[in-house]
Structure 1
Amino acid sequence: MLFINTRPQTRAENLSHALRMAQVEVLDLPLLELVARPWSNTLSELYQRLPSTQLIVVVSPTAVEIGMDYLTKASLSLEAIQHIQWIAVGEATAQALALYGIVAKVPLVETSEGMLQLPILQALSAGTCIAFWRGEGGRLFMMDRLQQQGIDVLNFILYQRRCPVLTEQKIPHLLAKLAQEKQYYMVVSSEASWINWIDLVRAGDEVVAKGHYLVLGERLYQVVSDYKKNHQACFNITRLSDLKTDSILQQIAVV
């Protein structure tokens, strides 16, 4: 069995180690890397509005790291925003916030849809101000839904996503290997990762068709399902509710 771990390098280690301990062949192939956006007047203005915010939604450990660095650059202290409630998209993000003494609420399902089910978000009234610490292109669905409810959204784009150069260099070797495989398994954690994978294999239908894709959440499941339908492709998809190592191992055992 071949498993392609597409998680960013810093978040892939636990899963890759657990799989190898279970005698599974693992190829580490991160499909995204996150690069900080330069400090700008736009970010400076957003940070000056932060003390009037009621909630901060943080979408990744990277958003925590960059967000806190820029908080210092904006000459703001955590004490100045201690009245704000925090929401983390998942446990890893909550743990990153905990290093700063912040207790964050975490959804049961680590997706935008799961976050929208949090009682604290469902109880918001129009005019409430929420800040999003996020990357370029991430969580647009959630922000749109809240804005439709009359919520004032402060959009902190702290980093951008790109396909790692090293991954692009590995693709010719990987494609040669996949040509010899009957099937492979791959975890897909975001729409951007899926798009990068399709671009990397250059719409190679035979390569894509050999995959069994473990995808995070209902919305990404629909994105991959739509690709399958539109391209008349034949591959398997399994929906994940979170990206915890134990959850992924359980799904692998099932399939």
Structure 2
Amino acid sequence: MLFINTRPVGRAKSLTQVLEQQAVEVYSLPLLELIPRLWDTDLAHLYDQLPQVQVVVVVSPSAVQFGMDQLVRSGLALSDLKHLQWIAVGQKTAQALAEFGLDSVVPEVESSEGMLQLPVLQNLADDASIAFWRGEGGRQFMMDTLMQHGRFILNFVLYERRCPHQTLQQQAELVQCLSEHNDYVALISSEASWLNWLALLDTNIQLLQKGHFLVLGERLAHILKQSQQQMYVQFKVSVLKDLKTATIVQLLCSGQGNA
């Protein structure tokens, strides 16, 4: 089996090590890298309002780090935010918050849909304010859904996401690798990752037909199925409830991971 590990460099190592121990061929291809946003007056204004919100939604460990870095710049202290309810998209994000002494709730399914089902969001007052610590383009569906229900959103865009330059340089090598295999499994953790994957294949879209894509959440699975219809290609899609190494390995070893 060929497994394409698309996680960012800092988060890919443990999954690669476990799979290689099980004799799985792993091709490392991070599809996203994160670039922190520079401090500006808009960000300063958002931080000024932060102590008055009811909930802070944090979408990744990187959002925790970048958000805390800017918190220092804002002049606020962690003690100013202790009374807020924190929501972490997954256990890794919750652990990152815990390192700053902040407790958070985590959805069972680590996706926008999973977070929207949390009682803390379901039971909010109609005029509640919610802050999002996120990257450019991330969790737009979740924010739009909450705004449609009358919630006031403070949108902290703390970093940009882009395809790493090193990955772009691997394009020809990737196409060659996929061409030499009968099938492959690829991890797709976000819509941005999927769009970068499609851009890498570009004039080799037929290689999608060899793929089995492990995707995070039902909404992302729907996006891939829309791509199938639009591009007239068929490939296999399986849904992950989280991005834990154990969850991914279990899916692969269950037989569902055989493309």
Alignment partner, residue 49 of structure 1: 49
Alignment partner, residue 90 of structure 2: 90
Show the 5 A alignment for 1:101-116: 101-116=101-116
Answer yes or no: is the 8 Å Cα contact 2:186–2:212 preserved in 1.
Answer: yes
SS at match of 2:182: coil
Alignment partner, residue 209 of structure 2: 209
Which consecutive unaligned segments of at least 5 residues does structure 2 have?
none
Same amino acid, percent of matched pairs: 51
Answer yes or no: is the 8 Å Cα contact 2:37–2:158 preserved in 1.
Answer: yes
| Separation of aligned partners in 1, 2:141 and 2:108 | 18
SS at match of 1:17: helix
Which consecutive unaligned segments of at least 5 residues does structure 1 have?
none
| 1:68-110 deviations in Å (ceiling 9; x for gaps) | 0100100000111111110000001001001101111000000
Question: Is it true that 1:62 corresponds to 2:53 in the alignment?
Answer: no
| Separation of aligned partners in 1, 2:29 and 2:96 | 24
Letter in 1 for 2:17: H
SS at match of 1:70: helix
| Separation of aligned partners in 2, 1:205 and 1:48 | 47
| 1:44-71 deviations in Å (ceiling 9; x for gaps) | 0000001111111000001000100100
Shift of 1:203: 4.3
| Separation of aligned partners in 1, 2:54 and 2:40 | 23
Letter in 2 for 1:188: I
Alignment partner, residue 178 of structure 1: 178
Q: Which of 79-88 and 201-210 deviates more?
A: 201-210
Please report the RMSD computed on the Cα atoms of aligned residues, expressed in angstroms: 0.8
| Separation of aligned partners in 2, 1:203 and 1:154 | 40
| Separation of aligned partners in 2, 1:242 and 1:73 | 32
Shift of 1:177: 1.7
Alignment partner, residue 144 of structure 2: 144
Alignment TM-score, normalising by the size of structure 2: 0.97
| Separation of aligned partners in 1, 2:200 and 2:124 | 42
Letter in 2 for 1:100: F
Answer yes or no: is the 8 Å Cα contact 2:198–2:205 preserved in 1.
Answer: no
SS at match of 1:120: helix
Shift of 1:152: 0.9
| Separation of aligned partners in 2, 1:184 and 1:63 | 31
Paired residues in the alignment total 255
Letter in 2 for 1:202: D
Question: Is it true that 1:117 corresponds to 2:156 in the alignment?
Answer: no
Alignment partner, residue 200 of structure 1: 200
Letter in 1 for 2:81: I
| Separation of aligned partners in 1, 2:144 and 2:20 | 41
Alignment partner, residue 72 of structure 2: 72
Letter in 2 for 1:86: W
Shift of 1:206: 2.1
SS at match of 2:180: coil
Detail structure 1 runs of 4+ shifted over 2 Å in the superposition.
Answer: none
| Separation of aligned partners in 2, 1:223 and 1:50 | 33
Letter in 2 for 1:139: R
SS at match of 1:137: coil
Alignment partner, residue 10 of structure 1: 10
Alignment TM-score, normalising by the size of structure 1: 0.98
| Separation of aligned partners in 2, 1:214 and 1:206 | 18
Shift of 1:180: 1.0
